[in-house]
Amino acid sequence: MQCPKCGTENPDKAHICNVCGLVFKNGGGEKPASKPKISRLAIASFVFSFLSVLLFFLAGIITSIILGIMSISQISKSGGKLKGKSFAIAGITISVFLTLTFFLWSIDAAPVPDDYTISDIRSASPQYRQSYELLSSLADQEENLVDAPAIGLSAQDVNTIERVSNVFKEGNYSQITEVIKENAEGIRSTWTNAKKARDIVNELDRFPEIADLTEPNLCDETNFHKNLILLMHLYEAFAYLQNEQGNSPDAVNELIKFDSVFRKLSINARFTITKVVCFSILATDIITANSITNSPHASQESLELLTKHFTPLTDEQISMRNSIIFDYLACKNELTKFSRDLKPKYTSSSPVKLNSTLRLCKNCCDKSIAIEENRQEIKELTVWPTIYPNIPVTFDSNGRVPRYYLIYNPIGSLMAVILMPDMKVFERKTKHRVYEDLLQIVFNKRLGKEVSLKARAYSDRYIIDKEKKKIFSPGPDGKIDTKDDIELMINPEVLKLTD
């Protein structure tokens, strides 16, 4: 036994210290009191709560709470040998706070009420379903082919079309005439080889309506668009060739037949890409009709056919409503799949916040339709859970959402930005209307009628530039002679503008 006063070792049963004479209580010496140690469980509780703050890790929060409770119990039973209750309480407090925060953060908004369905999209009558089968037959089974077997074209044919179309985009009348002469044989050969596609176009033109039965699934989009663009340039080249060779009625008849198909398809087009392709084809047809009208070779019969057919598109033909709703439905399907794939096992929640994301997308959809229909006000859905304050959330000009919403719904925000269509597509509508106006001015000039140059967009008046041989409108930038000008080439002599 060690003496607590002088430290001398004494026999175990000694009552008095042999050196200093200290009397031991109860027949034994008093042991020095040991210092209490900090509970390891309390430290672990605090560490896990701290890691949870950094990682927002639910398992760490739960672990911290359990360890905190165990450490407090352990400290209470230690008789002062353990301490660290403050660490345990801090760990539990932080974890409870994070649990509440996590609970509030994880709540999704309510489902979208009265949501759009496929029945909200304008579709062709059921008896015209075959027209969609014909249209789909223009698609190649494989993408990235150098040829186009579905429409009967070889790689050499495709190369001929692309070479000629590049000159159509940038060249003037003399350059276009030259490239037509140089490639006349290739154009005729390609036209012959495309008989399969031309027969399909002829068959489609017999339908009063052309159906688009594309399913709202971004991954299963039909890939006929590439071949439609090839056909557009082929019909364009053939029309130029026939007109230059004095066969303008043949050129006009084929052009009108092709244009009619896409005027019908435009009404029921579903995907935005399909609508944009229709706009591109119809605009190219206007440019081709304009070239024939400005040609001295065009017969009176051809001019009459052109002016009768190329009237402005109807509101239904140019409307984007179908595409806006369809793109929303396609986005909804993709978001639903993505949310299901990300949902952890044995839980009912997904980090995507599906309902909130869909509400955000539907608000954009409704705004676009309101613009389409010239309506000023729409009733926006709240993108927040019921217990949250209703703070408006919209995409800014760069397609981004506010930071506070990005924190609440990070994955859904990014998915919404990626999947929602570019709203610049609405510019194509306005540009097409301008093309129609310019063509009507050219028609009237060729027929010797009075014309009005009052513009519908981008400027007060359309401009006829006899020196540069064009009639045009400044594009969206409002500046003359820039890349976004909307213009048609003209022949001042044919249009009698030389005075």
In the predicted structure, residue 81 carries a pLDDT above the cut 70: no
Q: Judge contact between 401 and 393, C-beta under 8 A.
A: yes
Cα–Cα distance between 150 and 138 in angstroms, integer? 5
pLDDT at 280: 93
Between these two residues, 336 and 96, which has the higher pLDDT value?
336
In the predicted structure, residue 168 carries a pLDDT above the cut 50: yes
Q: For residue 447, what are the CA distances in angstroms to 69, 294, 329?
A: 94, 11, 47
Cα–Cα distance between 349 and 342 in angstroms, integer? 10
pLDDT at 87: 66
Coil, strand or helix at 38: strand
In the predicted structure, residue 460 carries a pLDDT above the cut 50: yes
Across 34-38, 312-316, 488-492, least confident range: 34-38
Q: What is the DSSP letter of 127?
A: G
Cα–Cα distance between 246 and 83 in angstroms, integer? 104
Is 288 buried (19+), middle (13-18) or exposed (0-12) by CB count in 10 A? Answer: buried
In the predicted structure, residue 433 carries a pLDDT above the cut 60: yes
Confidence of residue 400 (pLDDT cuts 50, 70, 90): confident
Share of the chain above pLDDT 70, in %: 80
In the predicted structure, residue 440 carries a pLDDT above the cut 70: yes
Element (H, E) at 451: none
In the predicted structure, residue 27 carries a pLDDT above the cut 90: no
Give the Cβ contact number of residue 193 at 10 Å.
18
Give 394-402's long-range contacts (Cβ < 8 A, gap of 24+): 394/363, 395/364, 395/420, 401/360
Q: If you average pLDDT over every residue of the chain, what do you get? A: 83
pLDDT at 428: 85
In the predicted structure, residue 138 carries a pLDDT above the cut 70: yes
Residue-wise pLDDT tens digits, 206-220: 999 999 999 888 765
Global pTM value: 0.79
Coil, strand or helix at 324: helix
Across 161-165, 238-242, 423-427, least confident range: 423-427
Residue-wise pLDDT tens digits, 282-296: 999 999 999 999 988
Cα–Cα distance between 44 and 149 in angstroms, integer? 69
Cα–Cα distance between 463 and 480 in angstroms, integer? 9
Instruction: Give first-to-last CA distance, the chain, whole Å.
Output: 131
Of 446, 451, 436, 443, the C-alpha closest to 493 is 446
Cα–Cα distance between 94 and 63 in angstroms, integer? 12
Q: What is the DSSP letter of 205?
A: H
Coil, strand or helix at 102: helix
pLDDT at 62: 61
Between these two residues, 496 and 67, which has the higher pLDDT value?
496
Q: Which tokens is 268 given?
A: 């029921």
- Residues near 421 by beta carbon (within 8 Å), at least 6 away in sequence: 272, 323, 324, 327
Query: Any idea which residue has 């953060």 for tokens?
Result: 105
Between these two residues, 426 and 152, which has the higher pLDDT value?
152
Element (H, E) at 486: strand 486-489
In the predicted structure, residue 387 carries a pLDDT above the cut 70: yes
Confidence of residue 423 (pLDDT cuts 50, 70, 90): low
Residues 359-368: b if buried by 16+ CB within 10 A, e if exposed: bbbbbbbbbb
- β-pairing, 463-465 vs 82-83, is unpaired
- Residues near 472 by beta carbon (within 8 Å), at least 6 away in sequence: 438, 462, 463, 465, 485, 486, 487, 488
Q: Judge contact between 363 and 394, C-beta under 8 A.
A: yes
pLDDT at 29: 45
Confidence of residue 52 (pLDDT cuts 50, 70, 90): low
Cα–Cα distance between 258 and 383 in angstroms, integer? 45
Q: Which of 11-15, 51-55, 222-226, 349-353 holds the top average pLDDT?
A: 222-226
In the predicted structure, residue 73 carries a pLDDT above the cut 80: no
Q: Which tokens is 225 given?
A: 């668009």
pLDDT at 346: 45
Element (H, E) at 125: none
pLDDT at 419: 64
Over residues 431-460, the mean pLDDT reads 93
Q: Interior CA angle at 266 toward 265 and 272, to 5°?
A: 115
Q: What is the dihedral of CA 222, 224, 229, 230, to 10 degrees?
A: 150
Between these two residues, 473 and 412, which has the higher pLDDT value?
473
pLDDT at 57: 56
pLDDT at 499: 59
pLDDT at 46: 52
Over residues 107-131, the mean pLDDT reads 93
Of 283, 274, 261, the C-alpha closest to 200 is 261
Q: What is the DSSP letter of 454?
A: B
Confidence of residue 28 (pLDDT cuts 50, 70, 90): very low
